[in-house]
Each structure stands twice: as structure tokens, then as C-alpha cells.
Amino acid sequence: MGYGQQTQRVMQAVRSKVSSRALEPGEKLPSIRGFASLMNVSPSTVVEAYDRLAAEGIIFARKGSGFYVSPKTQPFSVSEIGPHLDREIDPFWVSRQSLDSGPDMLKPGCGWMPADWMPNASLRKAIRHLSKAEDQLLSDYASSRGASNLRRLQARQFATEGIEVNPNQILLTGSGTQSLDLICRFLLRPGDRVLVSDPCYFNFQAILKTHQVEIVSVPYTTTGVDLELFEKAIIEQKPRFYISNSTLHNPTGVNLSAQSAHKILTIAARHDLILVEDEVFAEFLPQPTPHLAALGGFDRVIRLGSFSKTLSASVRCGYIAAKPEWIEALVDLQVATNFGGPSPIATELIYTCLSDGSYRKHMEALRARLAKARRAVSANLAELGFQTWLMPEGGFYLWCLLPEGIDSAELARAALQQNMVLAPGDVFSPNQSMGRFMRFNVSQMGAPETYEILRGLMCDL
Amino acid sequence: MGYGQQTQRVMQAVRSKVSSRALEPGEKLPSIRGFASLMNVSPSTVVEAYDRLAAEGIIFARKGSGFYVSPKTQPFSVSEIGPHLDREIDPFWVSRQSLDSGPDMLKPGCGWMPADWMPNASLRKAIRHLSKAEDQLLSDYASSRGASNLRRLQARQFATEGIEVNPNQILLTGSGTQSLDLICRFLLRPGDRVLVSDPCYFNFQAILKTHQVEIVSVPYTTTGVDLELFEKAIIEQKPRFYISNSTLHNPTGVNLSAQSAHKILTIAARHDLILVEDEVFAEFLPQPTPHLAALGGFDRVIRLGSFSKTLSASVRCGYIAAKPEWIEALVDLQVATNFGGPSPIATELIYTCLSDGSYRKHMEALRARLAKARRAVSANLAELGFQTWLMPEGGFYLWCLLPEGIDSAELARAALQQNMVLAPGDVFSPNQSMGRFMRFNVSQMGAPETYEILRGLMCDL
């Protein structure tokens, strides 16, 4: 890299304008001086940014006249938008390494549990059951909202968490990620702003980039988002919505308290902000904490989640719960972009598993197994000088502070040479301010060589 | 309804500008006179359009000063964009009726075959086989391109059609619709234009609307798109790509000849146009015709398809074949928006079925059964005065011209009262010029009362 954050910020602003067509192909760019004052940087920073964008072919200089947007727009590439990181440590790289690496790769940076931690016995039983299902279930499209038996089951589950919701207010989708994508399609236009926490789940950034919006972030503390800065950002940046995990925040593991949830709702109501609550980790707590939808209802809250973390990521299904008129619009969007709800085969497998007592027993055992693993891995990492930032109440993540002088991106790059995928802090950080943090998945760290390799890497750095 | 096409065109232009933020909230609209000359309509048409948009709350009038974009942008609703049809006969309505109606509904307008026409025996066998699969297949995410065994099988299948493709040039997706959606994300920006045929598959229009682009159309003839008007539209409208079904065009059933494919490729090369070929009906022909990808390779052609029409719409999976650098970008987009490839359970079921000899036998029998059904239904409809526009070489659609004086939308509305879903011509027509046509699905017309109801409705109209 080698050029400053200010230059990157200016380049990013121009890229957004070009990709959202706020600047049309052939159009003249703002003057150096004008843009410098607008962006609150020095004119030389803008000169550098324009020069680099010209080198990239996005704009071109006309002698004595200034800079213009290049006439031919290129096809969209997600990686061209946003701060250009090293491919090796950008969010897509971590996802693609985790998704595509073979079984001999060690994956402490991975976002899911190994196959032998998952309820495969329940799933096999459900598959055998499925082979006797009616023809129509096996061959037809889903209804536009997805299977009604699973939506009714979900509504009953929500009721136990104190959330009152009609099954018709639940839309089943292809995955938790697709849930968020549909919400973005519904709420966002290019150039809008969205508020996230720093750090946050890295795919929030990836998906928001595909919608060509600006990401605004607020620091995350051990009790949740910094509320003062949260309100300030809402006032100053006017984001379209705020998105975060309420249960066991990814990557920190913080479980939002009911008090914090109440304060977030109060601030959001004051400024008429929409809140999107990603509850993909809800099942990892024995007793759910009342969060945004439970306390505030669905007036301004949209809840999403999936079954990928606890049941199976191979059986793809997610959900959205929201107010009825929003669900109606989301149904149309899902008909247009996926021709209806998710696979009836997938939803039937999930319904069968969730209705089965053996799944509940598996989850109880899993929570105990994870608690033990969190303690053991935290102790092992402490010996390497990796300090657990906060011991989570559940789930499989530990967010660790590395010893002074160790850069987590460098460590991740070195680990890759040893066939190990790590998840360095800046991948989760919109401001690139988490270079001393690393996210570990305790369920993926059973192999003793994991620690040997980490120790060796630390010595080499 | 009740107002002219010109007014609708002006309203649509303003809506596009507002939703793409070419007109910002609070910004003043172009003057009546200026916009009238720009749109080549009379000032009174613009006045009417502005008044109607003000009534809808999209813009507002300031006394003595003109019209302004309303300050508060509403969440996006697909149905707000594009010509506002009767909800009952708009493309979403037909989709949602077909998806959500119960089994007692008659569905000649439906876009798929009844369950008992599908290869459920093969599928059940594959499901039983799946219950013995490895843990990892049952619980893990897919690789970012989707299962490699299915991609290799696809590549071999393409080779028999004369299409040379590396399995890494194939991206598996959640459905044929999601394939097109990913392609749109990759190639389109709000305000772009896309070229389709008139008539065309109605969901092309729906999905393009969600990407906020302008749909440009060219008439379709019995030998494919009108080539003279095709080239004219490319020159004048500069569309980003052209999309169509090459095999058994939906709704007309025309199978593109190799000669026509060659001419389309030549024109596209002359004007550097990207061609998207939806081959979802490829398996309905015993011998595939060489189409765009077969003749022209993947330089400017993207091929997509799915397994929903022939194997199962419940096992959701589609594909994209394109040149390697485009596939790389599409992989990133799918990671961001779906966290990787489609369900490994789904792709394994498809792989097992396609590798099974009984599936091939089923397809042979199905083609014969459909040929018989097309002849029988065409004869039955002829008795009602419905004239088959062209007898297709395969598939389950008949595109029929209704007797003079019968409006297909009116007929569809009346049919709904009798629990029958029809697919009226204008649902497929970007220009709303197909009011005398109706698409019938021969596999959904086995019940004798279908014709009795149609006959009764014709008498009442």
C-alpha cells in the first residue's frame, strides 16, 4: 500500500460517486481545491488521490482542464469498492479461504463449527423421513413466504422469548446472508449510509459494499455499542439503519444486556432510525436475553437469523421477522430475485429436526461442550500471550488481544504458509483499527499442533 | 388505470430518477416545458404525470415555484417501479398466485409441471442415498463455486452440446433466478438499459426492476428476435446486455435456429454487446440446437440455467457459465450475498439424480408425454377459438392468440373467480402489446373442467 488513510478516503468517495453514477462517465470531477475543502483534507491529498485513480483508469486527466470520469464503466467488482486491502487479509479472502480450503487445513479463523460438533444424527433421521414425503414437497416450488409449518414453529419459539409475532410476519429465505441482502434491497439506495459497530461481522461490510452504500461505524465496548457516539453518528450521518448482532456479537462475543437494548431503542425512536438485529447466535444461550424485537416490537426493528450455525450450513435457510407491510414488500423482492421462498426440502429437514427432542438434547450438550472449550482455548492462548478480551457467555468465538508489537494481519499471512486460516482483527474493522486483535473459533482448535504452529509463528515475527 | 401510455412513460422516467437518486429528495423537478420536449410529449402530458406523482406522494408542488422530490424517500417497493398494472394481472401477482394457491386451484398459467410429471422416484432414491453421506456434506457450507462433482458433470454435459468449458468457469447458484440476479449485480448500475424480447419471461422484468434499470424491448417473431430492430435498439439505446431464452423461448416456445444465433452473435460483436442466454429449458429437446455459447464461446456470452423445470423446484440450484475473470467476480458477489455456493445437500441430490440412468429414461418418456399433451391441448383450445401461435418443438408452453374482442387480462381476472390461475399476455409484454395472447401450460391442463370453465368464461365476457 504505502499511501495514507486520507488519500484512501478521497479515492473511496470518488469511487462511490462513479459507481452510483452521481458522477457520470465523461463528467468533470470537482476541482482539487473544492473537493479538498469538502472532504476536509489538503489539496495535495486530493491531487494524490486523483493521480492514483487515473492510474487505475477510473478517471483521466485532460491537459489544462482537470480530471474526468472515464467513459467506459467496467463491470462491478466488489473488491474494487472500499479500502483496497491486501487480498490475503480482506474479508472476501477470509471467507473464500474458509469455504474453499481442504480438510487438512487448520481453521481457527473459520466462522462455523466442525462437522462432528453438529447434530448430524438428527439430520440423518430427518433425511430418511424426507424420502417418504409427498411428491409435491419433493418437486414443487416453495410458497412465497416459505413453509408454513416452520414459520408457525418459529412464531412459537419467538413467543417463548417474549416476542409476539404472527407466522405471516415471518419470511423464510435462502440464508441469513440472503435475509440481510433482501433487507438491503428493500431499504437502501446507492449512496445511503448504514451504521455498524467497529468491530463487526465482516460480511456486513461485504454485503453493504455490493449495495454501494457508505459504511459508518461506532466503537463497540464490553457492554455493546458506545451509546454517546451511537447517537452522535445518527445525528451527523443520518444512516438508513443500524445493524448488529444482539446475541453474542460477532466477533467480540458480547451479549447485549436488556438495559443496553432499551437505550438503543430509545435513541433510535428519538431519531426515527431502523434497527436490524441479526440473531444468528440466539440458540447458543440457554436463556435468551430480551433484545430489540423482544423489548420494542417490530415497529422499527427487523430481526433476522438462520439455522446454519446450530443445525447445518448445508441445509440453507434463513428468516426475517418484521412488520406486516414490510414483509409484503420483501416477499415481492424474494419472488423477483429467487422465485419464491427457500427450498421446501430444506425447510422440511429443519422443521423435522427442530421438532425432534434429540436436537434439543444435542444443543444442551453442545452448550456445555463449548463452555469447556472456551475456557481451555482461552487458557492455551493466554500462554502465548493472547489475552481474551471478554469471556463470552456462549458461542464459539474468542476475541483476543495479541501481545504488543504483533500485527494480526502479518500473523495471518504467515499462518497461511503453514496451512492455517486465521481471522485477523482488521477484517472486522471498518476503520482498520483492530490490528492487534484476532478472532478464534474454539471448536476449530482441537488439534494440538494449532498452538505449536502459532508459537512458532510468534517467534518468527 | 385509465391514463395514457405517454403519461405512464413520463411517470416512470421520474420514478427512475428519484429511485436512482438522479433527482435527490428536495430537489426541483425539470420544468414542464423542458421535460415535455425532452420526453417528446405534450406539456399537458407532463402536467398530468406530475399531478399523479404528487398524488402518490413521490413529489410535491410548491405554489408558484414548481414540483419537488418529496423529502422522505420511502422504502423500496418493486411494484412502485414500472408501469402500474392491476395488481391482479401484474407479473408478481401471477407468480404469487401460482406459488401460494392451494392444490384445488387449476393452474393453466403456472410455470412448472405438476408433481406427478416430475422424476420423484429418482429423487427419493437420491435422498435415501444422501442419508448415508459424510458428516461434512450434511453440515458444512458449500465451497464458493458450489460442489465440484456437479460442476464437472455439467462441463461434460456442455461438451456434448459443443460447448467447451472448464468446470471452474461454472458457478453453481441458489436458482436460475439467482443466477440472473448475480449477473445483474455484476453488470448493471441504476439507470442502465437492458434489452429483452417482447414478449419475454415476466420475471426478467421483475428482476430488472429490482435493479432499477430501464427495460428496452424488441419484437419477437416466429424465428426469434426481429434482427433489424434488434440492431437499431442496440445503436439507439446502448443497452448493457440482451437477455433471452435461446431454447424454447418463454412464453412463445420458439427454439432459436443456429442461423439466428449466428446473426445475433454477429450483431452483438459489431456493437460490443453482452449476451445473456437463459437455457433453463435446454433439457426439453432431445438434441440441443447450437445456440449462443455453443457458437460464440464465452467471450461475450453468459449462459445460465437451473434444474427446477426438469428435476425439482424444491431442490434449489442454478448455474452460470462465463469467462473466468467474470466468474471470479461473480464468486465474490455470491460470497457476499449468500455466503458461498448453494446447499451441498441440494447439489448432491442433483448430482445423484443426473448420474442415474433412470433419470435419463424419465426425460425421454417426459418429452414424448409432453409432445402428446401439446397436440391434445392445442386441439382442445382451438375448439374454443384459441389459436396456437406456433407449435413448439418441446416443453410445456403454448402461446395462443385469443378470438377477436377477447382481452386476456379480463379473462384472467374472471378465471380467478373460478379458482383458475391464467397467464395473460401482457404479463410478458414490456410494451403491454400482448393483450390478445395467453400462455398455457399443457401439463397443468389434464382436468376436463379446465375447458368447461374457459368456455363458460368466454360466453360471459
pLDDT, one tens digit per residue, over A216-257 is 999 999 999 999 999 999 999 999 999 999 999 999 999 999
Provide, as residue numbers in chain B, all residues whose Cβ is less than 8 Å from the Cβ of A340.
Answer: 95, 99
Going by C-beta distance under 8 Å and a sequence separation of 6 or more, which residues neighbour residue A319? Answer: A146, A151, A154, A170, A171, A172, A173, A179, A304, A305, A306
Model confidence over A413-451: pLDDT tens digits? 899 888 899 999 999 999 999 999 999 999 999 999 999
CATH fold for domain A120-357: Aspartate Aminotransferase; domain 2 (3.40.640)
- Contact present, B414 and B461 (Cβ < 8 Å): yes
Best CA proximity match to A189, nearest among B21, B222, B204: B21
Which among B401, B411, B357, B440 has a CA at the least distance from the CA of B109? Answer: B440
Q: How far apart are CA A31 and CA A47, in angstroms?
A: 10
Q: Does A19 touch chain B (CB under 8 A)?
A: yes
Q: Which residue has the cell 425421454?
A: B364
Quick one: angle between helices A357-383 and A120-130, nearest 10?
Answer: 150
- Measured in angstroms, the CA of B119 and the nearest CA of chain A are apart by 8
The residue type of B107 is K
Which pLDDT score, from 0 to 100, does residue B426 have? 92
φ, ψ for residue B106 (rounded to 5)? -85, 135
Contact check, Cβ <8 Å, A141/B339: no
Question: For A263-412, where are the E strands, in sequence order?
Answer: 274-278, 301-306, 318-321, 387-388, 397-401
B318–A contact, CB cutoff 8 A: no
How sure is the predictor about A91, in pLDDT bands with cuts at 50, 70 and 90?
A: low
Round to whole Å and give the CA distance between B304 and B290. 15
DSSP structure class, residue A426: G
User: Quick check: helix, strand or coil at residue A90?
Assistant: coil
Beta carbons of A390 and A254 less than 8 angstroms apart: yes
Task: Please state, in angstroms and rounded to a whole number, the distance separating the CA atoms of residues B214 and B188.
Answer: 10
- Alpha-carbon distances, residue A420 vs A440, A450, B184 (angstroms): 12, 8, 35
Residue A33 has which C-alpha cell? 481545491
Residue with grid cell 411517470, as numbered in its chain? B11
Q: Give the nearest partner residue to B123 out of A75, A138, A340, using CB atoms.
A: A138
* pLDDT of B11: 87
Partner residue facing A21 (CB), from B137, B174, B191: B191
Read off the pLDDT of each residue in A248-276 and give the average, rounded to a whole number.
97
**What distance in Å separates the CA atoms of residue B448 and residue A291, rounded to the nearest whole number?**
55
Residue numbers in A near B105 (CB within 8 A): none
| Nearest residue, CB atoms, B345 vs list A78, A314, A329 | A314
Q: What is the pLDDT of residues A357-409, one digit of tens each?
A: 888 899 999 999 999 999 999 999 999 999 999 999 999 999 999 999 999 99
Which residue has better confidence, A60 or A177?
A177
Q: Which of residues 323-362 of B touch A (CB under 8 A)?
A: 326, 329, 331-333, 335-346, 349
- Phi-psi region at A272: left, alpha or beta (left = phi > 0; alpha = psi -120 to 50): left
Dihedral pair phi/psi, residue B281, rounded to 5°: -100, 10
Topology of domain A5-74 in CATH is: Arc Repressor Mutant, subunit A (1.10.10)
- Please tell me which residue of chain B has the smallest CA distance to A87: B332
Taking the mean position of all CA atoms in its chain, how far away is CA B336? Answer: 24
What was the ipTM of the complex prediction? 0.81
pLDDT digits (tens, 9 = 90+) for B98-107: 787 777 789 9
Distance of alpha carbon A423 from alpha carbon A355, whole angstroms: 35
Domain segments of chain B as ranges? 5-75, 87-117+360-460, 120-357
Specify the amino acid at residue A381: L
Using an 8 Å CB-CB cutoff, list chain B residues near A342: 316
**What are B398's strand-pairing partners?**
B440
Q: Which residues of A touch B116 (CB under 8 A)?
A: 135
Q: Identify whether the C-beta of residue B334 lies closer than 8 Å to the C-beta of residue A76.
A: no
Rounded Cα–Cα distance for residues A93 and A112 (Å): 16
C-beta neighbour count of A156 within 10 angstroms: 11
Residue count of chain B, please give it.
461
Residue pair A223/A260 in contact (Cβ under 8 Å)? The answer is yes
CB contact under 8 A, B120 and A103: no
Is the pLDDT confidence value at A118 over 70? yes
CB < 8 Å from B in window 271-310 of A:
308
By C-alpha distance, the chain B residue nearest A317 is B343
Tally of CB atoms within 10 A around B154: 22
Chain A contacts of B349, Cβ < 8 Å?
345
Q: What is the pLDDT of residue B85?
A: 39
The whole-angstrom separation of Cα A129 and Cα B195 is 46
Query: A22 versus A303: which is more confidently predicted?
Result: A303
Alpha-carbon span A365 to A375, nearest angstrom: 16
Q: What is the pLDDT of residue B73?
A: 46
Q: Is A103's Cβ below 8 Å from some Cβ in B? A: yes
User: Fold match between B87-117+360-460 and B120-357?
Assistant: no
As its CATH architecture, domain B87-117+360-460 has: Alpha-Beta Complex (3.90)
Cβ neighbours of residue B423 under 8 Å, at least 6 residues apart? Answer: B94, B108, B109, B110, B111, B202, B251, B412, B438, B439, B440, B441
| Beta carbons within 8 Å of B4's beta carbon, 6+ residues apart | B45
Q: How far apart are CA A300 and CA A269, in angstroms?
A: 8
Q: Are strands A387-388 and B66-69 parallel, antiparallel or unpaired?
A: unpaired
In angstroms, the CA B365 to CA A16 distance is: 54
Q: DSSP E strands: which ranges in B155-240? A: 170-173, 193-198, 214-221, 224-225
Which residue type sits at A441? N
Cis check for the bond before A199: say yes or no (omega within 30 of 0): yes
Q: Is the pLDDT of residue A79 over 70?
A: no
Cβ A338–B181 below 8 Å, yes or no? yes
Q: Which fold has domain A87-117+359-460?
A: Aspartate Aminotransferase, domain 1 (3.90.1150)
**What DSSP string runs through A378-392?**
HHHHHHTTPEESS--
Which among B75, B139, B313 has CB closest to A187? B75
The answer to whether residue A125 scores a pLDDT higher than 50 is yes
Question: Using CA atoms, how far apart are residues A275 and A266, in angstroms rounded to an integer?
Answer: 11
Which residue of chain B has the CA closest to A345? B314
Cα dihedral B440, B442, B448, B452, rounded to 10, equals: 20
A96 — contact with chain B (CB < 8 Å)? yes
pLDDT tens by residue, A56-67: 677 888 777 788
How far apart are the C-alpha atoms of A381 and A403, rounded to whole Å? 11
pLDDT at A84 over 50: no
The Cα A135–Cα B176 span in angstroms is: 22
pLDDT value at residue B88: 54
Exposed, middle or buried, A22 (CB in 10 Å: 0-12/13-18/19+)? Answer: middle
CB contact, 8 Å: A147 with chain B? no
Cα distances (angstroms) measured from residue A86 to each of A1, A46, A217 = 8, 23, 21
- Mean pLDDT per 10-residue interval, chain B, length 461 residues: 73 78 80 87 90 78 80 49 46 74 85 95 96 95 94 93 93 96 93 96 92 94 96 96 97 96 97 97 90 96 96 96 94 89 96 91 96 98 97 97 94 89 93 95 95 93 78
**A124 closest CB neighbour out of B96, B131, B312:** B131
Opening angle at CA B8, ends B5 and B10, nearest 5: 115
CATH 1.10.490.10 fits B5-75, yes or no: no
CA distance A166 to A146: 14
